[in-house]
Structures are given as C-alpha cells and as structure tokens.
Structure 1
Amino acid sequence: MGQFRWREAQLTTHAGPSVVGTTTADGRKTVPGPRGVPGLGNLPEFGKDPLAFFERLRERGDFVRWRFGRTPALFIAHPETIGELLTEVERTFEQSDLGIAFRTLLGNGVVVSKGADWRRKRSLVQPAVRPKQVKSYAATMAECAVDLAGRWTDGQRIDVKKEMAALTQLIAVRTIFGADTAADAESIGRAMDVAQQEIGAEFSGVGAILPDWVPTPGRARIKRATAVIDAEVARVVARHRDGDSERPDLLSRLLAARDETGAPLSDREIRDETVTLYIGGHETTSTTLVWAWYLLSRNPRVADALAAELDRVLGDRDPGFDDYAQLSYTQAVVKETLRLYPAIWLLTGTAKEGAVLGGVPVAPGTRVWSSQWATHRDARWFREPLEFRPERWLAAGGAKEAEEIPEYAWYPFGGGPRVCLGTRFAMVEAVLILAVLARRFRLALDPDEIRPVPGLTLQPDREVLATVRAR
C-alpha cells in the first residue's frame, strides 16, 4: 500500500453515522461533498454534468462523502483505494444496482449478476473470449476494416461516428452471431443507440431514484428497443440451434458451453450474455475509435509517429493478429485515448458487512464510486494530464518514459475479479482497425470542439464530421 495509509476517526452527520470517517497518515481528512437537496442529495448536480461533478469531488480529496438520492455515497480517487474496491468485489463489496434501464437491456448477464450466479456465468463465458479465441476473430476484424477502407476516397466527407459504429457493428455481428447480412447489424445497432441514450438519461436523472414500477417515456423507449434486440437474438439463436454447432462464432461457443454440473446456459442466459458481448465488442470499441480519430486530428505529431510505425511494421500490407505485438505505438495511441476518453467512465460498488477501504470500515449499504474520467486526468499520476501523449505508455529502459504510473491509475476495463472479459477482444479490435485505416488515410476532422456525453459509454455530443485524406 506504500505511504497511502488511513487511520480511523469516526464522524457523524445529521443523517446518523457517516459512511466512513478517516484521517490519512499525513493528516488529511475525509471531506463532505457539495451540499445536497433534501430527498435528492447531490443527484441534481451529478445529473447535470457527471464528469464535471466527479472532477470537483476529486479536487476536494481522495475520500469524499456525498449522497446519491437518499443513499450514502463515497467517492474515492486514489489508485490504491480504487484497487481495493475492485479486488474486494464479490467479497466485501457487491455489484451495485445500476437501475431498471440498465437491467432491461443487459438482463442478468455476467456484468450484472452476483455471487455464485456470477461465478457460474463467468466460467461459461470466459472461454469464448480467451486469447486463442480472440486470435481467431482477428481476421474478421481486419477484413471488415479493409472493406471499409476500399470504400473511402480522397476528399470524401464522412461522419466518423457513423462510420466507426457501422464497422464495429458488422464485426460484432459476424464474430458473435456468425451472420453476414447488413440487416442484422443495422436493426440491432439502431435499437442499441436508443438503449444507450436512455440508460444515460435514466442513470443521471430523477429516474435513478424512482421505483421500477413507475412508468416514464424513457423506460417505454428502452423496452421497445430491447424488444427489437431480443427478437433479433432469438432469430439468430434459433438458426444456430438448427445449424452447424461447430461454427467458430461466439454464440456457438456459448450454446455449447456446460457448467460443472453439465447444464447449458438457458435461452434467457444466452440472450443476456450475447447482448453483453455485443456491447463490449461494439459500443466500447466504436466509441474509442471515434475519440482516437478526434485526438489524432488535433495532434499531427502523434499522427506522424503512428504513420511511421505502420509503414515500418506493415509496409504495403494489412495487419493480422501476429502484428499486434509489434504495433506498440498503435497500442499506445489506443491506451492514451482510453485514458483521456474512457468508454466506461465510472464504476460503483455497494459495501457489505465487513467492508474496509484503506484499513477503515465502510458502513454496509454505502455506495462507493470511482470515476476513470477523474482519475485518468489526475496530475498526480500523469504528467501533463490533459495532453495526448502516447509516449507515456512506451517502455524506455524498463520504465514508461520516466513516468511511473501506479496500478489502477488507469483502469478503463475495470479490474480485479470482475475485470471486463472482453478486454483483449476490444484492444485487438481497436488496434487492428486503426492500423488498417491509418495506414491508408488521415482524417481531417472539422475544427469544432466535441464534448463527451456520459451514457452507457462516453459518446460524442454530435456528429463527428471529417474529410478523408489519402496518405
């Protein structure tokens, strides 16, 4: 734990015992967050701009008390404490309920489930996304990117957000469902866009504290979108059950999986895990690529360095899985993009009996929050934190460009036992797509600033228009 140590100093508030009261070894104390509204706590301020809200909490300290509606909440910002939270999930912390909109879309998949149910599902899903399996999907990733590159021309005007979404949707449909028709990707993609928007609106608004039975227009929209997704998944699952069970797509592997008792996943479980994998394989990668093009367009030096690596490693050919390890600067571009614009921008867990952070007890029921957005932009862990500098991730003489980045100062895929199962898939996909396209083109984005909007993932606030320039 290094020098970051806590000692207990129990505090109380008007609502009874505080979530936790601490004083650090160097004399710093936990501090209260901004004054809240009766009955709503800090939810109005959080909902107005969650990213700025978490940054303001980070500026107050590493251990800040606030209230999410009537629920006592604790914001943590130090990597060591974040690591404790992530590694203690399933023991002294549990997955928090992220609301009815989130559950409507993901059901009770591996991201949402808890305890023994989570352990069973993880054991069944994990083999489908192991490195050996990801290698088998890499050719599809590159082929789809090459097809897109063949349709781009010098001087063409494109919406980068739409182009990246269509590309990653197609890859997800082919690798997960083994389907080739554009209709599959299009119908699921439109429904997923609606679901994404409604989850963000519900989570950061009053809907976050409304009982599940309260009807709202947003909840009606996400139900309709989910019905479209369910119908598509059911259709494809039926086709798989009637076809060749040896197909290499993810869905076939899920259908063939058996737990320790020999039982398969139920139809509902297949649906939930398929949607979860789709989001991991499409939404996060698409968002990351849009932000990567945005940052590259505004940093010509980095774009030059990326092009130089692609020319050196690939020459005039397209990449395959075996090139992934050699594309170190391309990987660094993706990692630095995920630092500045993490697709998953917050994590939260709920304290159980016996929960402890930094040696200090955390009251059961306390909701503990951490934000990748806030921690990734903390000057204590990253020099010039707002600068796009992929070099900080490159090994030089055994060190990361003289920067010692603490564990859990960068955690775009979470960590601990519930680390994202699709981490390898997402990284390989983003690197190969970027390598295919950036070897041939640069994208000159329009100069307007694009702001991030937190929803299910961190999305641009508008269309992302660019001019294609052949290299």
Structure 2
Amino acid sequence: MPDSAPPLRPLRGPRGLPLLGNLLAFGRDPLAFLTRLRDEFGDAVTWSLGPRSSLFVFHPRHIAELLAAREGAYELLEIGWAFRQIVGRSVILSRGGDWRRKRALVQPVVRPRQVRSYAPAMVRCAAAAADGWRDGERIDVRAEMALITQRIVLRSLFGNDLGPRARTLGSAMDAAEQAVAAELRGIGLFLPGWVRTPSRRRLLAALGVIDTEIYRLIEERRGREQAAGQDGDLLSRLMAARDEAGRPLSPSEVRDEAVTLWAAGHETTSTALTWSLYLLSGAPEARARLEAEVEEILGDRDATVDDYERLVWTRQIVKEALRLYPPVWLIPAVAREGAALGGRRVRPGTIVWCSPWATHRDPRWFPDPDRFRPERWSPHARRAVPDHAWFPFGSGPRACLGARFAQVEAALVLATLAQRCRLDLPAHEAVPRAGLLVQPAAPLRATVRKRQ
C-alpha cells in the first residue's frame, strides 16, 4: 500500500430491503446512487446488492491498491449470465494460469506497432461517413458514430467490412448488448442460467447470428496462409498466436477473443465520440480551437497515425469526454482470503467496487467537476491529476488491452470529422443512462454544417 494512502474507514450505507438490499435504488438510477454514496458517506461505504455484502471505494489510492491486487487478493466478479454468454471465457473473464496464457496471446495483436496498421482504416471510415452527410442534414449522432466504429472494427478484426452481412451482424451485437444492460439493472442479475426470460431468449437468438458468422470467418481463414499472422487482420493474428508450449487458441477461444475485441472496440469508442461531439457543440471556444489545430497540422490532407501525438488539443478533448462520461462506469472484484485495503482486512466474499463515473466527478480531484474543460489535461496545467483519479480503461493487470487502439481511434476520427464539418446539437442537456455503458438516454440529433 502506498505510504500516502488514507486508512480505510468504511461507513454503513443506505438501508436496503430484505434479500434485495439496495438493488431497487441502484437499478432505478445507478449513476445517481453512486454519487449519493460518495457525497453522503465518503471514501468507503458498505452496502448490499441483493443478498451479497459490498464495499464501494472512491479514493484514488484505494482504487490503485484494489486494481493492482486483483489477481492476488481479489478475483474477478462475473457480472450476470448475459455478459458471460457474449464474451465466453475470453481474457476478460479468465482466471489464473488460463488468464495469463490468453493475455500473453492477445496482447501482441493490439500493441502500438499493430495499431499503426489499423490507423488508415480509422481515417478512411470517418472520412467516408462525413463526406456522405449533406449540408443542413439532421443525423443521429450516436447511430452515425456506431456505424463509423463498426466499420473500423470490422475492417481491423476481419480485414473487410463484410458487405451486407455487416448490418445483420451489427444488429445482433446491439441486441446482445441491450440484453446485458437490461440484466444489470434488474433482478435478472441473480437469476440462474436456466431461466429463459424474454430478454435472454432475444440474446440467444442474437448470439446464434454472431457465432455463425464468426465461426464461418475462422474456417475461411484456415483455408489460406497469413504470413504467420504478422500482416493480417486481428482475427488472423489471433489464429496465428502461439503460447510458450506452441499451442494455438482453439476455435472457441478465438471466437471469444474476437467477439470481446469487437464489442470493446466498437461500442466503447462510438460512445466516447458521441459524448465528445455533444460536449463540443456546447463549447464553441473548445471547438474553434479543435478546428484551428486540425487546420494547422493536417491542412487538406488526411490524418495519419504519426499525427496522433501532435493533435494535443484533440487528445485532451477525448480525455475530458472520457472523464465526464466514461463508457465503463463500474469495476467490481471479489475479496479472497487475505484481502486488505487501506490497512484494513476485507472479509472474503465481499464484492469491492470502484466507479470511474463517481471518482472522475469528485471535486477534490477535478475542480468544477461537471464542466467540460479539456485544458485540465494540458501538460502545463497548474494542478496535476492524481494517479487513478482518471481510469476509464481500468488499471493494473486487468487494464483494457485495447486502450491504445481506442484512444488513437477516437482522436483520429474526431480530427477527421472536424476537418470536414461541424455537428450542431440543440442546447438542451443530454441525460446519461447507465446500462452496459453510459449512453445518452435519448437520441442526440445534430445538424451537419459542412466546412470548406
């Protein structure tokens, strides 16, 4: 534990109902519930989600300690039957030696050198979308960002956009993600797997479509050489990967990792872009500065991955949008024997939670926390942000493997759109809704203004 970490002194949280605990209050408005816990009870609070005891921690030092220790004193909490059906036994849900093996196999396919090869597709997909919009046209921002990122991830993952099958596949993934979101907010979180609710039946139908296509693509790859996976798409690289014993991933393991990369690379980035564009529409000075940076660095040419580090203000916009609206808003772990936080023993079986949403909006770390201020992230800012006060991709051994891919993608897409148009949204405030990700509760419709 870092020397400066404060002692852990949990307070007892709001009283819950028998068996359900605080599930109903949490399910009605999870984001408001988390904010209430932080503001009324401080850095550590005990509560209950259903019959299980829980501990929420909000201080960056405790979060750092928790995330760094998750493979030792803490184990992964598998949230819900629906989520497990989508990602299977991918690196996200694997444990112990199986997790170490899969992480070693998957990590190389998303290293910075590999991300460079995917950058041209990111720019082409964003440019094609913006060039297809008409001046004065009204568009659904979230839907359009989802189409852009879906095309990017399909080309990066499968080597092409799959033609007409892409829409069918995208619809199936949307249905699967909606099923997970519904389960997270209700009693379905505690139902055994054999209970087939309408939502679960829709999920199984969607997974039938997804699995048929993924396994077809896997078999297709088996029929051709891919130069040991070094120059191919993500799927080819997954199939070419070998562990220390020379063993490849099995077809089902490839399926699990491919679907996980697809879900993470598509929906989380489209959500970050949606919120970025919403925030920029209400911040004329920040948007003007973005356009000036794009004009200075890019001019009339397309962005490249080499521009990423030079697009400083663009990256600060993305980082601030991820602070205000982190797509992944909740991270849980289960205490094992010997677990401790802040010098205090944590009872085995306790679910320990941290929340990017709540900590990112803590006024101790971010003055005027609800305001969109990209300048917070300037390398010359007067006030440094503490470690783990910002953690949209998690941290420690279980940090998101695709964090670099997502940040490069968001910045290059945002710069490409700003080069071509402005998206003006109505002045009313968008309401966030927590499901699998933090999404706008209602469609955000923008008017396209083409730029010369």
TM-score, normalised with respect to structure 1: 0.93
For 1:67 and 1:242, locate their aligned partners in 2 and report how far apart those are by CA, in whole Å: 52
Report the CA distance between 1:149 and its aligned residue. 2.0
Which residue identity is paired with 2:146?
Answer: A
User: Could you tell me which of 393, 403, 418 is aligned with 1:413?
Assistant: 393
Report the CA distance between 1:185 and its aligned residue. 2.4
Q: How does 1:329-348 map to 2 (within 5 A)?
A: 329-348=313-332
Q: How does 1:75-90 map to 2 (within 5 A)?
A: 75-90=56-71
For 1:36 and 1:182, locate their aligned partners in 2 and report how far apart those are by CA, in whole Å: 50
Q: What does residue 135 of structure 2 align with? A: 154
What are the Cα deviations for residues 333-374 of structure 1, in whole angstroms up to 9, with x where unaligned?
000000000011110000011101011110110000111111
User: 1:292·1:334 contact (CA, 8 Å) conserved in 2?
Assistant: yes
Report the CA distance between 1:2 and its aligned residue. 5.1
The answer to whether residue 211 in structure 2 is matched with residue 210 in structure 1 is: no
User: Could you tell me which of 444, 448, 452 is aligned with 1:464?
Assistant: 444
Structure 1 segments of 4+ aligned residues over 4 angstroms from their partners: none
For 2:85 and 2:137, locate their aligned partners in 1 and report how far apart those are by CA, in whole Å: 39
User: 2:131·2:420 contact (CA, 8 Å) conserved in 1?
Assistant: no
Report the CA distance between 1:166 and its aligned residue. 0.7
Q: How does 1:256-271 map to 2 (within 5 A)?
A: 256-271=240-255
The answer to whether residue 235 in structure 2 is matched with residue 254 in structure 1 is: no
What are the Cα deviations for residues 346-405 of structure 1, in whole angstroms up to 9, with x where unaligned?
100000111010111101100001111111000000011001000000111xxxx11221
Report the CA distance between 1:203 and its aligned residue. 1.3
Which residue identity is paired with 1:78?
Answer: H
Q: What does residue 163 of structure 1 align with? A: 144
Report the CA distance between 1:446 and its aligned residue. 2.6
The answer to whether residue 165 in structure 2 is matched with residue 181 in structure 1 is: no
For 2:171 and 2:189, locate their aligned partners in 1 and report how far apart those are by CA, in whole Å: 24
User: Could you tell me which of 173, 189, 198 is aligned with 1:192?
Assistant: 173
User: 1:333·1:390 contact (CA, 8 Å) conserved in 2?
Assistant: yes
SS in 2 for 1:124: helix
User: Could you tell me which of 406, 426, 433 is aligned with 1:446?
Assistant: 426
Q: What does residue 5 of structure 1 align with? A: 6
Same amino acid, percent of matched pairs: 52
What are the Cα deviations for residues 256-314 of structure 1, in whole angstroms up to 9, with x where unaligned?
00111111101110000000110121111011101111101111111011111111111
The answer to whether residue 44 in structure 2 is matched with residue 63 in structure 1 is: yes
The answer to whether residue 285 in structure 2 is matched with residue 285 in structure 1 is: no
Which residue identity is paired with 1:329?
Answer: W
Q: What does residue 226 of structure 1 align with? A: 207
Which residue identity is paired with 1:359?
Answer: G
What are the Cα deviations for residues 47-84 of structure 1, in whole angstroms up to 9, with x where unaligned?
11111111111111111000111111000000000011
Structure 2: runs of 5+ lacking an equivalent: none
Q: What does residue 52 of structure 1 align with? A: 32
User: 1:71·1:367 contact (CA, 8 Å) conserved in 2?
Assistant: yes
For 1:377 and 1:167, locate their aligned partners in 2 and report how far apart those are by CA, in whole Å: 29
Q: What does residue 12 of structure 1 align with? A: none
User: 2:53·2:350 contact (CA, 8 Å) conserved in 1?
Assistant: yes
User: Could you tell me which of 410, 422, 436 is aligned with 1:430?
Assistant: 410
Q: What does residue 97 of structure 1 align with? A: 78
For 1:233 and 1:299, locate their aligned partners in 2 and report how far apart those are by CA, in whole Å: 42
The answer to whether residue 122 in structure 2 is matched with residue 141 in structure 1 is: yes
Q: What does residue 113 of structure 1 align with? A: 94
SS in 2 for 1:109: coil
User: 1:382·1:403 contact (CA, 8 Å) conserved in 2?
Assistant: no
SS in 2 for 1:5: coil
SS in 1 for 2:17: coil
Report the CA distance between 1:448 and its aligned residue. 3.6
Which residue identity is paired with 2:421?
Answer: F
For 1:190 and 1:447, locate their aligned partners in 2 and report how far apart those are by CA, in whole Å: 30
SS in 1 for 2:436: coil
User: Could you tell me which of 11, 33, 50 is aligned with 1:31?
Assistant: 11
Report the CA distance between 1:3 and its aligned residue. 4.0
User: Could you tell me which of 153, 163, 169 is aligned with 1:172?
Assistant: 153
Structure 1: runs of 5+ lacking an equivalent: 7-21, 24-29
SS in 2 for 1:196: helix
What are the Cα deviations for residues 104-149 of structure 1, in whole angstroms up to 9, with x where unaligned?
1111111111111111100000000000000011011111111112
For 1:3 and 1:87, locate their aligned partners in 2 and report how far apart those are by CA, in whole Å: 16
Cα RMSD, aligned residues only = 1.1
Report the CA distance between 1:183 and its aligned residue. 2.2
Report the CA distance between 1:330 and its aligned residue. 0.3
For 2:398 and 2:29, locate their aligned partners in 1 and report how far apart those are by CA, in whole Å: 27
Report the CA distance between 1:234 and its aligned residue. 1.0
SS in 2 for 1:326: coil
